[in-house]
Amino acid sequence: MKITARPHPRPLPSGRGVHSDDVGDVVWHPSPGGCGASSQRGTGVGSLLPRLCCLSFFLLLSLLTQSAIAQRVVQSVNSSWLFRKDEVGLEPAQAAAAKGWEAISLPHTWNAADVLDDEPGYYRGVGWYKKTLYVPAAWQQRRVYLYFEGANQEAEVYVNGQLAGRHAGGYTAFRVPISGLLKFSGQAPAATEVLVRLTNRHNPDIPPLSADFTFYGGIYRDVYLEAAAPVHFDLDNYASNGTFVTTPAVSAEAAEVVVAGALTNESVTARKVTVLTQLLDRDGRTVAKQQTALTLKAGEKRTFRQPLPRLHRPQLWSPDAPYLYRAVSQVLEGKQATLLDEVTNQVGLRWYRFDAAQGFFLNGKPLKLIGTNRHQDYPGLGNALPNALHERDVQLLKQLGGNFLRVSHYPQDPAVLQACDRLGILASVEIPIVNAITDSKSFFANCRTMQTEMIRQGYNHPSVIIWAYMNEVLLRLPAGIKRDNEPGKVYLRRVNRLAQELDSLTRREDPARYTMIVNHGDFELYQLAGLPAIAQLVGWNLYQGWYSGDLEGFPKFLDRHRQELPTKPLLVTEYGADSDVRLHSFQPQRFDKTSEYANRYHQFYLKAMLDRPFVAGSTVWNLAEFNSETRQEAVPHINNKSLLTGDRQPKDAYLFYQAHLVKTPFLKIGSRSWTLRAGQAAGPDSLFCRQPVEVYTNQPAVRLLLNGRDLGTRPAEFGVARFTVPFGAGLNQLRAQAQDLAVEDFADIEFQLLPTRLDSPQLPFTELNVSLGDARTFTDDKLHQVWVPEQAYTPGSWGYVGGQAYKQPGDRLPYGSDRDILGTAYDAIYETQRLGLSQFRLDLPDGEYEVVLHFAELEAAPQGEQLVYNLAGAGTGASTATSAPGRAFSVLVNGVDALPELSLDTYLRPLQANSFKVPVSARGGRGIIVEFKPGKGQPFLNGIQVKRL
Ligand code: GCB
């Protein structure tokens, strides 16, 4: 077990209140090898520990506990837990005695794998966690708590068989007092059984009710054991640290800092103590201090408020210079000033305001807020991320050049806001009221509690400037409710009521921050519900040119807001387009999920927002790809509207924003992950294929070289220099340079050049992979294969004869389907098909070939759960249900009845991937002819692969 004291300032410079034998910072391993593993930050016994190793373990233990008796101790307790699911509903005693536990450590979720399988849904039920804690005998005098940073979503904590506490809501921390339940005997540590019953079942009284992300179950953040002296800062205040820092007046000349909070005396006698707060600068020098004497009766809790002496010419906090002071607050007692408790808060001195016409101002200067949203999600880990990955995301946002994070759609790990404070990222945080509300007392009460927890837990982070509480709350009107019917009017009034309650609560709790409600693009509906009038800021999630309409709808919407809500500051809280890094198109279309369409979309949106000073800020949806179990996409269950892939590799759009936001010379060749390309030679005698390459830069012009040959210099327009590159077969080395050579970048691209005529002697045919009904290329890095889009057959070449590309009903997809195809990881290939074709021909030279034919019946009923992301307003929406027609056909390859029985009753089960490999001999100059003979309905083909043996 690892025992770690909470981050703690270095020793305070003024001798007061700190004893030379202070050991509050000890990191202690009581395991047999513990002596060597001990360490300490700062001075104190840390430097002595190696020498003390020769002392007996218990002598050391008693030394440590005696001198540290007063200080608060905090240990993470993440290791050595046991976990089991419970599908039968065990009582705690039964669960404790049950068999079948799995050894795990925290953070943990039980849904990391089942959200990715082909079965719709994931386990939403009860899970039990069990752990034995060893509590030192000396802690009998202390107040002991278990502190959970987050567990989704309803938790019951049992200690030694007794219920110690409950918590509802999966995204805020909670603290459970356990002192009374510990059983000590003599000087031995108390072995303490902790059992946690957790469920992530749907509960209509707990937000979120529905959302486009996965509600992973588990204790998915850190858990700590805390032991405080009987007199301590209030540990019973919505899992806050009991102290609250405000900066009521800050300017370049002076700053006021106030620390307020409460002290609790849980001892049986009255206590006279002093609360001393010292403000330290970055170098640890005390720049202000204040002390308050308090007498607390036994069992009393008392508040205190400490305005610190005004600071002159303070160091300000900003994205460019995130200067942090530290406010160290201590509880001291007696002549010796014995330290009873201590809390440190980071303090950033800044002031800010939003203006409806001019946007956002920080420290008196205009600052366009630009950044991203973020989910706590990582491939293979679900939501159970170690802190390092939370921090890395904030760093990636910083490297993007961003200055703003929308922590969506729920409060996240404390590591996120800590990183924002440190790196200079402003933040908006919200509770997860998403899509809809339940009109029940408990739902309203849970929302209020969550909002209070979020605010009190995050209050001391200088990065936070906005508290929000609703995301697209009118997206899913409950069954039977329409905007203009009677139940609809009642529902909108209830939503309005909840918004008012949360808004007043927030302004009461924290008058210094702004409040915000985030809406989807249905202007009228939100106006009808009266929501834009309630919060101080309006956030719009806008997807014109993605979910519906065209790009031009976006600036129109912004201008409409400016005109109709002239006093409301506006943020574009979401915008984005799917981009699957495997898919590329030279004629990008809305909803084709290619990087090229997403690039076009971001280039258009960013310009529109930069052109409008009244747009205070914007956050791309989303920093990285994330799991949304119900999504059916080119990669099922993954929402890939993002700047980074799941494993945090940059997509083009990330580079595009860097070109605009990074302040040092920047230049990067785009499509970094598209290092394996394919395409047809420009003509029968040509040995190259021209394809576009974009270079992202903040320099005025870019020169591009291919294998050392100068391809010319192009101006960068709005951050992008565009080239057409004649790729040859094999390795193509690109080198891009800014005009003054200040920056350059390289990319190695392997090109599979396909012959125009299949009998070409210069480019002998080796293989061809074609995605039918598709206008995109698909790069499969694993198999090192590129699938090219279909084309019509022309003599000497290859292609389909007849038919049309399949298109799922509805106005969304340009072609194909977005259903989850079962039994394959190549959904993107099976989601498109050519219907009604009569042949697929290849005029190949005589020889031996292998042909693989791929099929998936796309006309399938019933339609699965469809996302109702009708985000552009009323009227548009997801594709409608389709029904499977009767279908039967056979396939002949070079006259042989290779697949005689393809029908709904045989292999063509709806949405099931099926492939057939057929060896073929091409003879007599006739090449390969695949023929489709209809029996019932139209035949189809989804993909074909042909390889010369
Ligand atoms: C939204 C939602 C977000 C979704 C996103 C999308 O407006 O707020 O939760 O994930 O759209 O990708 O559809």
**For 346-367, how does the pLDDT look when each residue is reduced to its tens digit (9 = 90+)?**
999 999 999 999 999 999 999 9
Please check whether the domain covering 664-754 is classified as CATH 2.60.40.10: yes
For the segment 539-582, what is each residue's pLDDT rounded down to a tens digit?
A: 999 999 999 899 999 999 999 999 999 999 999 999 999 999 99
Q: What number is the average pLDDT over the span 486-504?
A: 97
Distance from the first to the final alpha carbon of the chain: 60
Question: What angle do the packed helices 652-661 and 595-610 form, to 10 degrees?
Answer: 20
Q: Is the pLDDT of residue 497 over 70?
A: yes
Cα 807 to ligand 1 centroid, rounded to whole Å: 24
Tell me the DSSP string of 330-394.
EEEETTTTEEEEEEEEEE----EEEETTTEEEETTEE--EEEEEE-S-BTTTBT---HHHHHHHH
Residues in contact with ligand 1 (CB, 6 Å cut-off)? 211-212, 409, 471-472, 520, 541, 574, 621, 639, 641, 869, 871
Q: Which residues are registered as beta bridge partners of 135?
A: 190
Q: What number is the average pLDDT over the span 815-826?
A: 92
Q: What number is the average pLDDT over the span 827-848?
A: 97
Nearest Cα residue to atom 9 of ligand 1: 212
pLDDT at residue number 740: 79
Cα 226 to ligand 1 centroid, rounded to whole Å: 38
- Whether the domain at 543-662 and the domain at 765-948 fall into the same CATH topology: no
When the pLDDT of each residue in the chain is averaged and rounded to a whole number, the result is 90
462-499 as b/e, with b when 16 or more CB fall inside 10 Å? bbbbbbbbbbbbbbbbeeebebeeeebeebbebbbebb
882 falls in which pLDDT band (50, 70, 90)?
very low
Atom of ligand 1 at shortest distance to CA of 628?
A: 10
Q: What number is the average pLDDT over the span 826-851?
A: 97
Burial class (CB in 10 A: 0-12, 13-18, 19+), 317: buried
Q: What number is the average pLDDT over the span 100-112?
A: 98
Fold classification of 3-347 is Jelly Rolls (2.60.120)
Tell which one of 212, 377, 435, 818 to mutate to probe ligand 1, the residue whose CB is within 8 A of the most ligand atoms: 212
Atom of ligand 1 at shortest distance to CA of 518?
A: 8
pLDDT at residue number 70: 64
634 falls in which pLDDT band (50, 70, 90)?
confident
Q: What is the pTM of this model?
A: 0.91
HSE (side-chain half, CA atoms, 13 Å) at 21: 11
Nearest to 196 by CA among 236, 151, 239: 151
pLDDT at residue number 13: 35
Amino acid 825 reads A
Cα 527 to ligand 1 centroid, rounded to whole Å: 21
Nearest to 255 by CA among 350, 364, 352, 363: 350
Amino acid 339 reads L
pLDDT at residue number 811: 81
For the segment 571-611, what is each residue's pLDDT rounded down to a tens digit?
A: 999 999 999 999 999 999 999 999 999 999 999 999 999 99
pLDDT at residue number 673: 80
Check: CB of residue 400 under 8 Å from CB of residue 438. Answer: no
Check: CB of residue 800 under 8 Å from CB of residue 852. Answer: no
Which residues have CB under 8 Å from 787's CB, separation 6+? Answer: 769, 770, 771, 774, 777, 778, 779, 780, 829, 943
Residue 212 corresponds to which tokens in the numbers above?
A: 């486009």
For the segment 413-448, what is each residue's pLDDT rounded down to a tens digit?
A: 999 999 999 999 999 999 999 999 999 999 999 999
Residue 774 corresponds to which tokens in the numbers above?
A: 């598709």
Cα 472 to ligand 1 centroid, rounded to whole Å: 9
CA distance 52 to 62: 12
Q: What number is the average pLDDT over the span 820-837?
A: 95
Fold classification of 543-662 is TIM Barrel (3.20.20)
Q: Which residues are registered as beta bridge partners of 371?
A: 404, 619
Q: In the 8-state DSSP scheme, what is residue 139?
A: G
Is pLDDT larger for residue 60 or for residue 533?
Answer: 533
Dihedral of CA atoms 438, 442, 445, 447 in degrees, nearest 10, equals -40
Atom of ligand 1 at shortest distance to CA of 639?
A: 12
Cα 519 to ligand 1 centroid, rounded to whole Å: 11
CA distance 862 to 72: 59
Atom of ligand 1 at shortest distance to CA of 574?
A: 7
pLDDT at residue number 243: 98
Q: Is the pLDDT of residue 745 over 90?
A: yes
Backbone angles phi, psi at 591, to 5 degrees: 70, 15
Nearest Cα residue to atom 2 of ligand 1: 212
pLDDT at residue number 58: 39
Residues of the chain with pLDDT > 70: what percent? 90
Q: Which CATH class is domain 765-948?
A: mainly beta
pLDDT at residue number 861: 64
pLDDT at residue number 26: 26
pLDDT at residue number 738: 95
Is pLDDT larger for residue 872 or for residue 823?
Answer: 823
CA distance 371 to 508: 28
Domain borders along the chain are: 3-347, 543-662, 664-754, 765-948
Q: Which residues are registered as beta bridge partners of 430?
A: 468
Nearest Cα residue to atom 4 of ligand 1: 212
pLDDT at residue number 60: 41
Is pLDDT larger for residue 672 or for residue 835?
Answer: 835
Which residues have CB under 8 Å from 216's CB, separation 6+? Answer: 109, 110, 111, 112, 115, 152, 200, 382, 383, 384
Nearest Cα residue to atom 3 of ligand 1: 212
Q: Is the pLDDT of residue 644 over 70?
A: yes
CA distance 168 to 405: 26
Q: Is the pLDDT of residue 56 over 60?
A: no
Cα 212 to ligand 1 centroid, rounded to whole Å: 6
The three-state (H, E, C) secondary structure of 304-319, written as one string? EEEECCCEECCCCECC
Q: In which element (H, E) is residue 394 found? A: helix 387-400
Cα 420 to ligand 1 centroid, rounded to whole Å: 23
Cα 826 to ligand 1 centroid, rounded to whole Å: 24
For the segment 19-47, what is each residue's pLDDT rounded down to a tens digit?
A: 222 222 222 222 222 222 222 223 232 33
